[in-house]
Amino acid sequence: MTTEPDRSRIRFPDISARAYEHPADRGALVALRSLRGFDTVLKKMSGLFTERSLRLHFLAGTVRVGEQQFRDVHQDLVDAVHILDLPETPELYVVSDPYPRAMAIGADHPFIVISTGMFDLLDAEERRFTIGHEVGHILSGHAVYRTLLLALTNLALRVAWIPLGYVGLRAIVVALEEWHRKSELSSDRAGLLTAQDPDAAKRSLMKMAGGSRLGNMSVDAFLQQAREYDAAEDARDGLIKLLSLLGRSHPHAVVRLAELDRWATSGEYGRILAGDYPRRSDDRDASISDEVRNAAKSYQEAWSRTADPLIGTLRDVANGVADTGGKIFDNLAGRARRQ
């Protein structure tokens, strides 16, 4: 018996990943996608990490989800692919690991790996959100672009004994880590579009921080934690928060929940549910300069919202960044057209 997608939820035909991507993530991706041959280079680089051997590793030592194995999980995957209109259904493997984790791996044929700890932690609706999150990574092409971060991180470690070379590479890695964290915020939105249940999405993020005892936790109280974390007492706390992000691939749990809550109550989420969203078929016409401006604008808006005193002292420095960044890409695009 073939698994049929659940048609009770809203489907988004031809939806572009730009619909849900965080502006900082989207700006970087639009620029990277516009570089002719860049995807090819990254896919060649991904060969260094033997995507084929990774797949064989999970094929040999984990359980592949399908019609006869973890059928309910397979149904969630089919639904997520149907809702986000992914061209190809990725393989999904369940690995025995008490630590809750999930990831999308690969470039040519990405696949998903989710631990038993994750499934033991979540209920059915929360699981929908998590699988939709990983499908969002695949639709955005994050698995391909993250290869660059992994390659540069490894290279930076190898040349750590060369002071100037290491400093330059480390600066690039820090920038890519910031993009990586924003890509997680993007995929949280994709998970929400898949589950279409904001409460379940928030619960899943809260459980990632505090475990399965939901009766002892409160989303409202967790959001209050997020506000306290954002505020900080003085500039020293702001500096500590910035340093705590070094080497982190994911934003802190309170930040993710606060960001998703803000997006869930925004008009943007409602417009997508109503069918008003950018189409994949129009991706080639996306303006790099506009996306760069949007990315800078999103940072400025975040800095305007924050009560962090350190960010407050730096806020004025960011004035004009969006317009300047857009002009740079406009000039580059104009020069390319003339050539």
Annotate 164-178 with DSSP letters as a single string.
HHHHHHHHHHHHHHH
pLDDT-derived band of residue 1, with 50, 70 and 90 as boundaries? low
**Does the residue 7 lie in any domain?**
no
Cα(87)–Cα(317) distance, rounded to whole angstroms? 43
Full residue range of the structural domain in which residue 47 is found: 17-286
Q: Who has greater pLDDT, 5 or 69?
A: 69
**Does the residue 330 lie in any domain?**
no
**Does the residue 305 lie in any domain?**
no
Q: Which of helix, strand or coil describes residue 77?
A: helix
Counting the structural domains of the chain, the total is 1
pLDDT of residue 322: 43
Q: Who has greater pLDDT, 142 or 300?
A: 142
If phi > 0 it is left, if psi is from -120 to 50 it is alpha, else beta; for residue 217 that is beta
pLDDT at residue 159 above 80? no
pLDDT of residue 26: 74
Q: Residue type for 115, please?
A: S
Q: Which one of 32-36, 248-252, 303-307, 327-331 scores highest in mean pLDDT?
A: 248-252
pLDDT at residue 109 above 90? no
In the numeric block, which tokens belong to residue 83? 């809702």
Cα(98)–Cα(116) distance, rounded to whole angstroms? 6
**Does the residue 325 lie in any domain?**
no
pLDDT at residue 311 above 80? no
Per the annotation, the verdict on 134 as an active-site residue is: yes
pLDDT at residue 125 above 60? yes
pLDDT-derived band of residue 282, with 50, 70 and 90 as boundaries? confident
Q: Which one of 28-37, 48-57, 88-97 scores highest in mean pLDDT?
A: 88-97
pLDDT of residue 301: 58
- Do 46 and 306 contact (CB within 8 A), yes or no? no
Cα(321)–Cα(324) distance, rounded to whole angstroms? 5
In the numeric block, which tokens belong to residue 215? 């009766």
Nearest CA-CA partner of 3 in 63, 79, 64: 79
* Least confident stretch, 232-246, 251-265, 292-306: 292-306
* Least confident stretch, 76-85, 129-138, 141-150, 194-203: 141-150
Please tell me which residue in 21, 51, 126, 134 is annotated as part of the active site: 134
**Does the residue 137 lie in any domain?**
yes
**Does the residue 223 lie in any domain?**
yes
Q: What's the whole-number average pLDDT of the chain?
A: 78
Q: Kindly state the percentage of the chain with pLDDT values over 70.
A: 62
pLDDT of residue 118: 95
pLDDT of residue 332: 45
Cα(138)–Cα(37) distance, rounded to whole angstroms? 19
Q: Residue type for 108, please?
A: D
Report, as an integer, the average pLDDT of 139-146.
76
As beta bridge partners, residue 279 has 15
**Does the residue 320 lie in any domain?**
no
pLDDT at residue 77 above 60? yes
pLDDT-derived band of residue 319, with 50, 70 and 90 as boundaries? very low
Report, as an integer, the average pLDDT of 45-60.
72
**Does the residue 306 lie in any domain?**
no
What count of other Cβ atoms lies within 10 Å of the Cβ of residue 333?
14
Report, as an integer, the average pLDDT of 45-73.
82
pLDDT of residue 239: 65
Report, as an integer, the average pLDDT of 63-67.
96
Angle at 215 between CA 209 and CA 219, to 5 degrees: 55
Q: Who has greater pLDDT, 29 or 320?
A: 29
Measure CA 14 to chain center: 19
Q: Who has greater pLDDT, 106 or 49?
A: 106
Q: From the CA atom positions of the chain, what is the Rg in Å? A: 20
pLDDT of residue 328: 47
What residue spans of the chain are helical by DSSP H? 23-34, 38-46, 51-61, 71-83, 116-121, 124-140, 142-158, 163-195, 198-210, 219-231, 235-244, 253-264, 267-273, 288-305, 309-314, 321-338
